[in-house]
Structure 1
Amino acid sequence: MNIFNSDGWFARIFGTIGDIIVVNILFIICSIPIFTMGASMSAMYYTLLKKQRTDETGGIIKLFFRGFKDNFKKSTIAWLLFLLIAFVFSLDFNLFGKGGPQENKLMYYTSVIFFILICFIAIYLFPVISAFENTLKNLILQSIYMAAKNFIFTIIIMILYTLPAYFLLASPQVFMVGIFILIVCGFGLIAYLSSFMFIKAFSPYLEDVTKQYTDDDPDSWMRSNEVSDDPSGESDSKILPDKSSSDQVSSSQKDSRKVTKKLEVSNANK
């Protein structure tokens, strides 16, 4: 087998490296206004998750901007909300600090714990927004559920995000090298490694999508249906079925409720 042909492992490895670099650069450029960083993060995960799930080749820039556009509103609101929460917690950290009375120490460590929990949720929120369609409220609830259910993945992904910050602060020499790596491929590499775990976490709520159908409807790859008019706020969570086999999919599909509903069903069965 020729390792240099388009299907060889050599070409695949360098193709993946190229995708990571391109996505990383697009993420940085689209995050410059700061308030668009949430949409950039969702677009980055949309691109990487789609390519991993469908093994699609080419069109990386087109995929990124499709994800950026489709998820802009919800991702931006979620990002601004996260920034507001982070700002409030930063005030708490400065107010209570580590020193002072015992009550201040208790409030300080309580704030730290709650902020870490918020970060756990934020880790899942933007990939969830990129993969599922629902109200922002339900997407946040889904992120909470997945962060708790896949706690080992949550810890590993948290380490992937925080480890670079640790090395950046280690020394001035490491800082410069670290900044260079982040600019070239750092953010994209972290998202790429994380996406393997997100695919594993999301898979129970996603139907298999064929490559042919993805080509026919490129936005259907991981989309979980339209928001229903149910006043309870619950909605179906499934991949849009192929028109030619919609009856078959609907009859053979597992409970298609969102994970918030699955959680309620699970508790009811206990």
Structure 2
Amino acid sequence: MSFFSLDSKFSQIMSRVFDLMMLNIIFLIMCIPIVTIGANFTAMYYVTLKMIKNEETYIFRTYWKSFRENFKQATAIWLILLAVLIVLILDLLLVMKMPGAITYLRFVFLVLICFEAMVLSYVFPVLSRFDNTVKNTIKNSILMAIRHLPWTIMILLVNLCPLLIYVFSTTKIVSYLILLMFLLGFSTVALGCSWFFVNKIFPFYMPEEEKEVLTPEEESLRALEAMDRPSPLTDRSNDAAAAETTDAAPADAAAETASEEKSASPAEQPETDE
């Protein structure tokens, strides 16, 4: 096989790098209005999750599909969490300037800021993968982050990797890092985090017995149903059981009626459709 053939490993790697570069540029351009950052993170994770699963994707078309469908929910979640983060940072700065023992409260606010960083690491991938309300998406993200704490720490480290390199590097390396972030930094970080979600976290909530190909909507609904069974991610609801009972009652009544009619006229032959 030729080194530069379309089926070679080199060509596949370069194709993936080009896709990540396109995704990163689209992400940066669409993030210019700061209010759209949440929707853009959701759309980017929607694409990178598909990349990890080796699903064929058309970068812009797939990105725009998720951006359009999740814009309202993602924007609401982003504004809520951004407001909470700003309040926590302002409180931290205020406490650090106060004299006396009250300064020890800074550790409390630091823990809360780290906790919000965990939620931010989960909420947009979860929104891109599962259909739910704003409240339940945030709630499930919190519970997932706590439940999978070791993987959450790994995801946080991947997200903070560019920042850590920036802090502990020389000026020359920092300049290259900034260029790299503009070219494919954000999409590469999202791809790295997506590996953990696809292989270590989301499968926990996916029914193993389901092998048939499902639409994204059906897959999301079944995943959330599976999530209810093993964990308290969402409040258990009896609506589904009530609906099954309600549906079963007329079916039983119809079966009994059919049985009575059959026993009353055994000589009658069933009609056939022509």
Q: Cα deviation per residue 1:139-173 (whole Å; 9 max; x = unaligned)? A: 11211121112212211111122221233244443
| Residue-pair matches, total | 232
Q: Identify unmatched segments of 5+ residues in structure 2.
A: 237-274
Letter in 1 for 2:227: K
CA–CA separation in structure 1 for the residues paired with 2:44 and 2:207? 22
Contact 1:4 1:10 in 2 (8 A): yes
CA–CA separation in structure 2 for the residues paired with 1:68 and 1:31? 11
CA–CA separation in structure 1 for the residues paired with 2:34 and 2:20? 21
The 3-state SS of whatever aligns with 1:117 is: helix
Number of the residue aligned with 1:258: 227
Q: Under a length normalisation based on structure 2, what TM-score does the superposition of the two structures give?
A: 0.76
- 1:98 Cα deviation from its structure 2 partner: 6.9
Number of the residue aligned with 2:31: 31
Choose between structure 1 and 2: higher helix proportion.
2
- 1:119 Cα deviation from its structure 2 partner: 0.9
- 1:102 Cα deviation from its structure 2 partner: 1.6
Q: Note if 1:22 corresponds to 2:18.
A: no
CA–CA separation in structure 2 for the residues paired with 1:31 and 1:133? 23
Number of the residue aligned with 2:108: 110
Q: Identify unmatched segments of 5+ residues in structure 1.
A: 226-235, 239-255
- 1:60 Cα deviation from its structure 2 partner: 1.1
Q: Cα deviation per residue 1:197-223 (whole Å; 9 max; x = unaligned)? A: 01021012235898x957xx5x55x84
Q: Cα deviation per residue 1:124-144 (whole Å; 9 max; x = unaligned)? A: 000000000011111112111
- 1:27 Cα deviation from its structure 2 partner: 0.8
Q: Note if 1:183 corresponds to 2:182.
A: yes
- 1:85 Cα deviation from its structure 2 partner: 0.7
Number of the residue aligned with 1:101: 100
CA–CA separation in structure 2 for the residues paired with 1:61 and 1:264? 36
Number of the residue aligned with 2:223: 237
Identity in percent: 28
Contact 2:39 2:74 in 1 (8 A): yes
Range with greater deviation from structure 2 (125-134 or 72-81):
72-81
Number of the residue aligned with 2:220: 224
- The residue correspondences of 1:1-270 to structure 2 (distance < 5 A) are 1-53=1-53, 55-97=54-96, 100-104=99-103, 106-170=104-168, 171-200=170-199, 201-206=201-206, 219-220=216-217, 223-225=219-221, 237=223, 256-259=225-228, 262-264=230-232
Q: 1:3 to 1:107 in 2, by over 3 A?
A: same
Q: 1:115 to 1:203 in 2, by over 3 A?
A: same
CA–CA separation in structure 2 for the residues paired with 1:258 and 1:74? 21
Which structure has the bigger radius of gyration?
Answer: 2
Q: 1:118 to 1:58 in 2, by over 3 A?
A: closer
Q: 1:177 to 1:93 in 2, by over 3 A?
A: same
The 3-state SS of whatever aligns with 2:178 is: helix
Letter in 2 for 1:173: K
- 1:79 Cα deviation from its structure 2 partner: 0.7
Q: Cα deviation per residue 1:67-86 (whole Å; 9 max; x = unaligned)? A: 11111111111111111011
CA–CA separation in structure 1 for the residues paired with 2:22 and 2:207? 28
Letter in 2 for 1:258: M
The 3-state SS of whatever aligns with 1:32 is: coil
Contact 2:206 2:226 in 1 (8 A): no
Letter in 2 for 1:73: K
Number of the residue aligned with 1:242: none
CA–CA separation in structure 2 for the residues paired with 1:98 and 1:194? 36
Q: 1:84 to 1:48 in 2, by over 3 A?
A: same
Q: Which runs of 4+ in 1 moved over 6 A?
A: none
CA–CA separation in structure 2 for the residues paired with 1:142 and 1:32? 29
The 3-state SS of whatever aligns with 1:84 is: helix
The 3-state SS of whatever aligns with 1:262 is: coil
Contact 1:42 1:129 in 2 (8 A): yes
